[in-house]
Amino acid sequence: MNILFLTIGRMDDIEAHSIYPDLLREFRDKGNNVYIVAAQEKRTGVNTKLVNSGDAHILHVRIGNITKCNMIEKGLSTVRIERQYKSAIKHYFSDVKFDLVMYSTPPITLVGVVDFIKKRDGAKSYLLLKDIFPQNAVDIGLMSEQGPKGLIYKYFRSKEKKLYEVSDHIGCMSQANVDFVLKHNPEINKEKADVCPNCIEPRDMSVNTENKIAMRRKYDIPEDKTVFVYEGNLGRPQGIPFLIKCLESQKENEKTFFLIVGDGTEYGRLEEFIESSKQKNVKLMSRLPKEDYDSMVGSCDAGLIFLDHRFTIPNFPSRLLAYMQAKIPVIAATDPNTDIGKVIVNGGIGWWCESNDANAFSKIIEKACKSNRTGMGNKGYQYMLDNYTTEKGYQTIISSVRG
């Protein structure tokens, strides 16, 4: 089959280790021809171009800036993407007939591109639903259903419904996602939505004792404390004010150390807290050298996941997979609507509490310091092998498409 994958993210190399390249390699290795349309922001100075990477064809489309810019520029650039992608596909892939078009959210504004490919080629369409927008923006106060902002909400809500309509199948990250989508969009045929979770090509990213000690020494991380790591985006969805409360609750705990590696809109807020509080058992880093990126997670004792308590949509962060690969247990502090906590607790791979209860978080930290973390980490790795591999993701998608 000829497979087309649409993303507004940047994808330079299909051999990279991330959820989308991993899944696309699975399709390629099963004998399919893989074509990718990805974004190249204006600030890079690179024009639209087609390159080959690992037997995949990657079309880098020059678009406006959508990251690290003001909301007006981001909004205008996002609206234009649909037209820019269609134009590039017509020019570079005019002689390719696609059998399947896959795409992920965000954004929801690629609906016109999907519809174009379906009508032109008679292709099947599969939505990888990673984000339920615009409701997620409403939940954390970035958008409103009423007032002047309500017009923006209605525009994007209309786009969201059109995207569901044009999608032959909707792959949701978990059962809670399936239930939410069907409840709030009753016009969707129930057979259209199924569970297709985040998946990766499994790699054992655990770190032996010798390398763990070396890594901790390199970055001045205590060898004699239980180290909890958070790695990922530091924005509004992560509920940074609650994360700060959790750190404050551990200020006098001499047994623990918290390593936070990430970037995002709330990074400055977290940095200001750490500088003003002079808390000694916290280290904040914006990034790590590429060669140390994977080893650092495995050099810690447990991984952290945070989500804002206001969310009504059931997020399911892919960060869970990185901790599973590193064979470390997971602590999740989230809203009660996501089922990621249920997966973690029922699987025996970590702990969960609501992200409005710092005392509950402190109790979990105490448990984690005393628990058999190695055993839980091994359980997590096996859970990943049983549920979250690209082989399973591929089979789910193909089964849906072929009926």
pLDDT by residue (tens digit) across 227-257? 999 998 999 999 999 999 999 999 999 999 9
The answer to whether residue 129 sits within a structural domain is: yes
192 and 214 part of one domain = no
- Three-state DSSP at 69 gives coil
Dihedral sign from CA coordinates of 328, 334, 339, 341: positive
The CA distance from 235 to 307, in Å, is 10
**Tally of domains in the chain:** 2
Dihedral sign from CA coordinates of 270, 271, 272, 273: positive
The one-letter amino acid at 177 = N
138 and 223 part of one domain = no
Q: What is the CATH number of the domain that holds 333?
A: 3.40.50.2000
What pLDDT does 61 receive?
95
How confident is the model over 349-377, as a mean pLDDT? 96
233 and 138 part of one domain = no
76 and 9 part of one domain = yes
The answer to whether residue 204 sits within a structural domain is: no
Q: Which element (helix H / strand E) includes 256?
A: strand 256-263
11 and 131 part of one domain = yes
The answer to whether residue 160 sits within a structural domain is: yes
Burial class of residue 230 (count of CB atoms within 10 Å of its CB; 0-12, 13-18, 19+):
buried
The answer to whether residue 82 sits within a structural domain is: yes
What pLDDT does 225 receive?
96
% of residues, the chain, pLDDT over 90: 79
Structure tokens at 280: 């000694």
48 and 150 part of one domain = yes
46 and 153 part of one domain = yes
The CA distance from 403 to 401, in Å, is 5
228 and 352 part of one domain = yes
Query: Phi first, then psi: what are they for 336, rounded to 5°?
Result: -80, -5
The answer to whether residue 70 sits within a structural domain is: yes
Per-residue pLDDT of 286-296, as tens digits, reads: 888 877 888 99
Q: How far apart are the first and last CA of the chain?
A: 15
160 and 106 part of one domain = yes
44 and 150 part of one domain = yes
6 and 124 part of one domain = yes
105: left (phi over 0), alpha (psi -120 to 50) or beta: beta
Full domain range(s) for residue 90: 2-199+389-402
The answer to whether residue 14 sits within a structural domain is: yes
Q: Strand order of the sheet with strand 302-306?
A: 282-285, 256-263, 226-233, 302-306, 330-334, 350-354
Reported as a pLDDT band with limits 50, 70 and 90, residue 74 is confident
Residues paired with residue 283 on neighbouring β-strands, in sequence order: 259
374 and 394 part of one domain = no
